[in-house]
Amino acid sequence: MRTRARARVLTRQGADAGRPVTSSMSDEAQGEHVAEHDLVIRGGSVVDGTGAPARPADVAVRGERIVEVGRVAGAGHREVDAGGALVTPGFVDIHTHYDGQATWAERLDPSSWHGVTTVVMGNCGVGFAPVRDADHDRLIELMEGVEDIPGAALHEGLAWTWRSFAEYLDALADRPHDVDFGAQVPHGALRLHVMGERGARREAATPGDIEAMGHLAREAVEAGALGFTTSRTRNHRTSTGDYTPTLTAEADELVGIATALGASGRGVLQVVSDMADTDEEFGLLERMVAESGRPLSFSLVQSPVAPDSFRDLLARTERANAAGLAITGQVATRAIGVLLGLQCTLNPFLANDVYREIASRPVAEQAAMLRDDAFRTRLLDEESRIDRQRLGGRVLTRFDLMFELGDPPCYEPDPASSVAARAASQGRTPEDLACELLAGDGGRSFLYVPLLNHSGHGGLDDLPAMLAHEHTVPGLSDGGAHVGTICDGSFPTTLLTYWGRDRPEGRLDVPFLVQRHCRDTARTVGLLDRGVLAPGYRADVNVIDFEGLGLAPPEMRYDLPAGGKRLVQRARGYVHTFVAGEETYAGGEATGALPGRLVRGAQPAPTG
């Protein structure tokens, strides 16, 4: 049954208007009624993360744990009125890249703005440990190229006070954060650490190399890494253009490292692959799981080249699990696409020599020049001479798949609203319209190009089958990465709003969606102590104005080290977010509390 609740958000008057109100009662104010709990969230519509229907209930918290869910008689030192709101566990985002940001910043935003209370980083085989001093630049180039994080920001922000993975974890643990976070050991760093230049050149690993990498991976999980990750996609290159060192790693290498984790009885495996030869690649995933005994997740997307190939992967995943092999597909909650703009890494005119005349100017000046008739005429005249077929790709050349993002942002646009279709209806070229749109809002507007999970005129029609499959979980937000082209840390908000409320067809029940992004994601990486609102579980809680929940347009900020830029995206409707029983965000604004900690290894489920 679809759950639809309207949050009753009380507000203060006068100078404090608009700020959410909660009641905080001291023991003295309550007279003889001494507070039994640290926090009680009262009267909300509780969606507890198990998939059970929403029910009216209170949630009581002591310390970092939930102690009671139901009709709570005891008072709390603090009481929150959640009447009319959804009360859910905090979201667990298992596919992020905060490996650098977590070392220099306390706030792992934008994820923490979207109800996320635990993130897992170190995905896709990229990260910063273990590392030799001589390989600092190599690991920065790898992260910069694969995850589009400015090299200058990494050079200035990373302190490199570690060499081993255990020392990296210690450095992370020294800084308080607004969310809990776990780290995974990346194959790229392992390969460079053990093989040096041979690893960078993607030479085959020797038995000695494999043994050494396996030993380091096991050391890492024993020190608290959640698992081991690798990349086998040609989309992943260093900032110098080289393929990721792990692209062509042979089966013996991957199975050998996985088996080393298996010997410890700890850790999960994560893989991203092009699946060019599905039999060979999926067979490799099965071998890694079978010989290690460790669970594995992989990136599951719909390719525009083979739009039905995901069905074969789902069928293979079903058969693997039926055979006792724990394999899970990670699925994005909307199309995986890129943003184009004058502020961004990419825009449609990058190959145009006339545009290059102004490319280094401030964004507002670029926008003014694009509105100048004489300059625009020169730009479009030069554009007509560019061989766009030579440019290739789907990003800069496909105006039929390019859309104005808008406010509120639309991630499943009508094909009739594409830049090409709109231009044709106006009797102009798509380049001319794109130029106009890019100049909007002082050059701060965005064009959106959906690349994966977007089946042409079918839009996102196939995504519900991927999201609802018993062996998939929401993932792939890449929070903290692709900061000049993508802003998908908002995936959790999209999951609830679009698939639980707004999409005309293909909606999914809200309790099911909450279960998927709380309990199920947590279980996928071995965190059995969170993702459910029940006694003994972590007191990671969201109070959500469901009817008011929504996304703001992305915006570019220049707040990374060395003044680096990054795309961020706010949300509205998160009335309260609690991490370990402490409120971290109220009405979307930071409270100052930083209760988040490094999660070292798998966590057991509550007992008793």
Residue 83 covered by a domain = no
Do 200 and 307 lie in one domain? The reply is yes
On whether the pTM is more than 0.85, the answer is: yes
Q: Which two tokens stand for residue 286?
A: 């099965």
Do 580 and 467 lie in one domain? The reply is yes
Determine the residue type at 526.
G
Residue 67 covered by a domain = no
Do 279 and 377 lie in one domain? The reply is no
Residue 176 covered by a domain = yes
Residue 145 covered by a domain = yes
pLDDT averaged over every residue in the chain = 93
Do 324 and 348 lie in one domain? The reply is no
- pLDDT recorded at residue 390: 59
- pLDDT recorded at residue 386: 81
Do 240 and 290 lie in one domain? The reply is yes
Alpha-carbon distances, residue 448 vs 371, 382, 417, 419, 462 (angstroms): 21, 24, 12, 10, 20
- pLDDT recorded at residue 391: 57
- pLDDT recorded at residue 17: 34
Whether the predicted pLDDT of 275 surpasses 60: yes
Decide if 493 contacts 501 (C-beta within 8 A): no
Dump pLDDT digits (tens) for 301-312.
999 889 999 999
Please say which residue of 450, 476, 497 terminates a domain. 450
Decide if 566 contacts 112 (C-beta within 8 A): no
Span 565-579, average pLDDT: 98
Conformational region of residue 292, where left means phi above 0, alpha means psi within -120 to 50, and beta covers everything else: alpha
Conformational region of residue 348, where left means phi above 0, alpha means psi within -120 to 50, and beta covers everything else: alpha
For residues 188 and 130, give the distance between their C-alpha atoms in angstroms, rounded to a whole number.
10
Do 237 and 369 lie in one domain? The reply is no
Residue 202 covered by a domain = yes
Please say which residue of 425, 450, 475 terminates a domain. 450
CATH number reported for the structural domain that contains residue 217 in this entry: 3.20.20.140
Please say which residue of 416, 450, 484 terminates a domain. 450
Dump pLDDT digits (tens) for 200-259.
999 999 999 999 999 999 999 999 999 999 999 998 999 999 999 999 999 999 999 999
Residue 51 covered by a domain = no
**Number of structural domains in the chain:** 2
Instruction: Name the pLDDT band for 458 (thresholds 50, 70, 90).
Output: confident
Do 504 and 377 lie in one domain? The reply is no
Do 188 and 305 lie in one domain? The reply is yes
Residue 63 covered by a domain = no
Do 486 and 518 lie in one domain? The reply is yes
Residue 192 covered by a domain = yes
In 97-226, DSSP assigns E strands to 116-121, 180-183, 185-186
Does the CA dihedral 219-598-483-471 come out positive or negative? positive
Domain ranges, residue 407: 338-450
DSSP one-letter string for 80-123: EE-TTSEEEEPEEE--B--TTHHHH-S--TTGGGGTEEEEEE-G
Whether the predicted pLDDT of 22 surpasses 50: no
Whether the predicted pLDDT of 192 surpasses 80: yes
**Which residues make Cβ contacts (< 8 Å) with residue 499, sequence separation at least 6?**
333, 464, 467, 506, 507, 508, 513
Do 290 and 382 lie in one domain? The reply is no
For residues 50 and 521, give the distance between their C-alpha atoms in angstroms, rounded to a whole number.
12
Dump pLDDT digits (tens) for 126-155.
999 999 999 999 999 999 999 889 999 999
Do 182 and 210 lie in one domain? The reply is yes
Do 277 and 292 lie in one domain? The reply is yes
Whether the predicted pLDDT of 562 surpasses 80: yes
For residues 323 and 282, give the distance between their C-alpha atoms in angstroms, rounded to a whole number.
14
For residues 568 and 488, give the distance between their C-alpha atoms in angstroms, rounded to a whole number.
9
